[in-house]
Amino acid sequence: METIIDYVMRLEEEKTMNALDVYTKINIQDYLRRPEVKFDKEYSKERQEIRKYIREEDRKTKKMGGVIDWGYLLNAADSF
């Protein structure tokens, strides 16, 4: 199982988006409330890209047999 540190390090290595900009409290809560693609059209282009990125990372993690610790990320987002 991938640890949260490994997960964040993987995001930083990929450098497609800055993890600190993506994993804000509002983006995480928004994704968790309505993760389906059909809701993306209700957001700005920037937010659509963020949602797409989070969804893809969530899918990759699940495919590897892991689970993203959303609670940890939400608590960490409070400290930034």
pLDDT at residue 16 in the model = 62
Is pTM beyond 0.85? Reply is: no
As given in the structure block, the two tokens for residue 45 are 């282009």
- Check residue 65 and report its DSSP letter: T
Q: Please, which residues have CB within 8 angstroms of residue 3's CB and are 6 or more apart in sequence?
A: none
Percent of the chain with pLDDT over 70: 92
pLDDT at residue 80 in the model = 59
Q: What is the largest CA-CA distance in the chain?
A: 34
pLDDT tens string 30-69:
999 999 999 999 999 989 989 999 999 999 999 999 999 9
